[in-house]
Amino acid sequence: MFRCLLLRNLHKALLMIDSLLSYHPEAALRLLRPGRLAGLQHALEAARDATLNDVEIWQSGEPVPPERQPLDAGFIQWPEELLADLQSNRGESLIARLESTGSRLRQLADSLVVLGIGGSYMGMRAMFEALRPSCWNELSRSERDEAPRLYFDGWNVDSDRQHELLSLLERRAVASPDAPAGRTAIISISKSGGTLEPAVAFRAFRDFVEQRFPGMDRDLVVPVTGESGRLRSLAEAAGYRDVYSIPEGIGGRFSVLTAVGLLPAVTAGLNIRSLLQGAATLTDHFRRAPFEQNVVLQFVAVCHAFEADHGMNCRVLSTWGSRLEAVGLWYDQLLSESLGKHERGATPLTVVNTRDLHSRGQQHQEGRRDKLITNLLPGPPVLAPVAVAAHRLDQDRLNQLAGTTLPRILDAAIAGTNQAYAEAGRPTADLQLPGLSEHSLGQLFQMLMLATVVEGRLVGTNPYGQPGVEAYKRNMQANLGIR
């Protein structure tokens, strides 16, 4: 009880520092029959209860009822549990240990390669692109506050790409063999260790580290894996200094706030405490907020109503600016693997605007009426706004915009696009972040994960497990003669 009270007080304090993300579906609601969302209230509150009941079943240790299997509901309580662990155990907590490992990797190496596929890498990629400069790897070590350059591999089978990265890391090792600038650290992420793409990549990058930095591989390589499996066995045989576990009861696409995402994030200098606090704040909101004010329930209600009533089974996450595309790609996996079962489930599509207004925008404006568009809005810019400059040569007629900032132009584009869609009877809703920060991104991750589970419970689809993904793995390994 004391732990829960501490967390609730912490949540209240955080809400005063960094406000909650908000959902604005008013434009879309004009295209629904009056009272449609109110008619879903009872069913959605029951789905919320079922989602929270999943946690109780998971925590009880009792056998999971057959109709609920598999059950990977551990992500719901996880941020709160980590924060409580931090308050109780301080330096011995998982958060403190992750921070210590991240600090050590920053001191030892100037390049970090994160190996993983699907949920084992997409969440960290989303955080990296949202919260780090696009030119991060070109900045000097001091400009990066001693944090490493960051690379991703093991998420595809691409010989040329892997060769290019290994060659780049080799050249750095030759140039600075005894300095952090020449060293590469590896975080290898796989729950079983049996997924072929990251396993093959780990063999290549592990061999590089062992050959180039003899005697240092125990410190430079950190696996994140399950309590058993091939990667766990390999880690024990190699004697790596640190090995982190992926908790039981948390599936890959729900694992962004475990060591899967937290270890690379803290190594890259991100504030994982704030990330977890944002997620915990959103979970508390999900439990307590009434239907009309509940961001999760309102989001699910609108998505479900348009799919059920209007056949809009294509969900476009329209990210504005450049930083949130990878968040959309993370959500693509979350929605597809969770609800794409039994010949049902909406199809997600991520676009980046204004870029894709010049490609997909035509289809969204005048194509099939099968799309619900959710604008993901990042909030105010992190850096000082760039403005249009006056110039003596005005043949481009831009002096009329002199002094206008790019955020102002983006706002005009958002408003103009929403107006065009409204005039054509195309539904849009806005999901507004208070700004781009670890806290707001933690909120967004947790909100979308909870919404996905609630919708699954609403429509009778188990949101956990991904049996369809296993078919290609079996066939690929059979084609290679792997036993």
Sequence-ordered list of residues with C-beta below 8 angstroms from that of 242, at least 6 positions apart, any chain: 97, 101, 222
Sequence-ordered list of residues with C-beta below 8 angstroms from that of 234, at least 6 positions apart, any chain: 193, 223
> Could you tell me the sign of the dihedral formed by the alpha carbons of 466, 337, 119, 462, in that order?
negative
Vertex 363: Cα angle to 444 and 447 (nearest 5): 10
Beta-carbon count within 10 A of 193 CB? 21
Sequence-ordered list of residues with C-beta below 8 angstroms from that of 184, at least 6 positions apart, any chain: 109, 111, 112, 113, 169, 172, 173, 205, 208, 209, 212, 213, 220
Report which residue type is found at 281.
T
* Biggest CA-to-CA distance, the chain: 76
Beta strands 314-320; 244-245: pairing state = unpaired
> Could you tell me the sign of the dihedral formed by the alpha carbons of 103, 104, 110, 115, in that order?
negative
Active site residue 337: yes
Both structure tokens of 225: 């894996």
Q: CA-CA distance, 19 to 433, in Å (whole number)?
A: 9
Q: CA-CA distance, 84 to 76, in Å (whole number)?
A: 14
For tokens 């982190």, name the residue.
244
Length of the chain measured in residues: 483
Q: Residue 186: exposed, middle, or buried by beta-carbon count in 10 A (0-12, 13-18, 19+)?
A: buried
Q: CA-CA distance, 78 to 277, in Å (whole number)?
A: 11
Active site residue 473: yes
Beta-carbon count within 10 A of 352 CB? 20
Q: CA-CA distance, 113 to 267, in Å (whole number)?
A: 11
Question: Among 337, 364, 371, 455, which one carries the catalytic annotation?
Answer: 337
**DSSP structure class, residue 379:** -
Sequence-ordered list of residues with C-beta below 8 angstroms from that of 396, at least 6 positions apart, any chain: none
Q: CA-CA distance, 280 to 282, in Å (whole number)?
A: 5
**DSSP structure class, residue 397:** -
Residues carrying an active site annotation: 337, 358, 473
